[in-house]
């Protein structure tokens, strides 16, 4: 479902202390040009919705325009139904289990119904983007939601994958002779091919300045 900008911005001003588009850009960590582009396309990125819902304790479903009333304080008992708490992991594999290492910190709450439009809430984890990210689209330290149930390559999808050199992010393109990996910012990995897919990136949130 596409979230149109004007009603989205009206809900933002209704439920937060944001009063204009310059303040919105500052909170999101983007420039005014990004706001103008989203207005022109009339489609709000999902990561903006997740970032604002997290920052102001808002229901992302309502913020996206799928409900009529705002649901605040998502951590309270009144709003636990329908909320998926995504566990944090590190961008590294546990040698014993072959799975991503857990990161001990409170989970990331999102609407299970909203998330299920793109992936499996039960199989989705969150982590900080590894150093080999897809700049400028995804930079090291961005927060990623990765659906571990989606391990089949899709054309244009961004995946977390493991190579002999480590865990990286790549956009995948389906070719007649196999899968092509779109290079990221780490130039030493451009020649690598193949790899095991750990999951597909459902959305990313920028501006937290941390890494795994």
pLDDT digits (tens, 9 = 90+) for 77-118: 233 447 888 999 998 888 888 889 999 888 888 878 878 888
Averaged pLDDT, 33-56: 85
- Any residues with CB less than 8 A from the CB of 32 and at least 6 apart, and which? 21, 22, 25
pLDDT score of 66 more than 70: no
Per-domain residue ranges of the chain: 5-78, 82-205
What number of residues does the chain have?
Answer: 212
**Spelled out in words, what is the top-level CATH class assigned to the domain 5-78?**
mainly alpha
pLDDT at 209: 47
- Residue 70's Cα: distance from chain center in Å? 22
Higher pLDDT, 59 or 185: 59
pTM of the model: 0.60
82-205 has the same fold as 5-78: no
Highest mean pLDDT among 17-21, 114-118, 126-130, 177-181 belongs to: 17-21
Secondary structure in 3-state letters for 79-145: HCCCEEEECEEEEEECCCCCCEEECCCCCEEEEHHHHCCCCCHHHEEEEECCCCCCCCCCCCCCEEE
Supply the mean pLDDT for the chain. Answer: 78
Counting residues of the chain whose pLDDT is more than 90, the rounded percentage is 17
Domain at 82-205: CATH code: 2.10.109.10
Mean per-residue pLDDT for 48-61? 81
């Amino acid at each position: 479902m596409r979230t149109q900008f004007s009603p989205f911005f009206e809900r933002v001003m209704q439920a937060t202390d944001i009063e204009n588009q310059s303040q919105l850009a500052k909170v999101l960590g983007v420039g005014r040009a990004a706001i103008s582009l989203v207005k022109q396309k009339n489609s709000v990125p999902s990561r903006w919705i997740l970032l604002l819902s997290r920052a102001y304790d808002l229901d992302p479903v309502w913020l996206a325009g799928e409900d009529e009333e705002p649901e605040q304080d998502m951590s309270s008992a009144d709003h636990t139904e329908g909320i998926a708490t995504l566990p944090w992991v590190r961008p590294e594999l546990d040698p014993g289990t072959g799975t991503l290492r857990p990161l001990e910190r409170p989970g990331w709450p999102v609407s299970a119904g909203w998330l299920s439009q793109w992936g499996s809430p039960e199989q989705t984890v969150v982590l900080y983007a590894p150093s080999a990210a897809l700049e400028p689209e995804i930079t090291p330290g961005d927060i990623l939601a990765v659906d571990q149930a989606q391990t089949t390559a899709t054309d244009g999808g961004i995946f977390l994958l493991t190579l002999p050199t480590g865990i990286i992010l790549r956009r995948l393109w389906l070719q007649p002779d196999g899968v092509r990996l779109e290079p990221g910012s780490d130039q030493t990995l451009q020649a690598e091919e193949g790899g095991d897919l750990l999951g597909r990136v459902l959305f990313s949130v920028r501006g937290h300045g941390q890494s795994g």
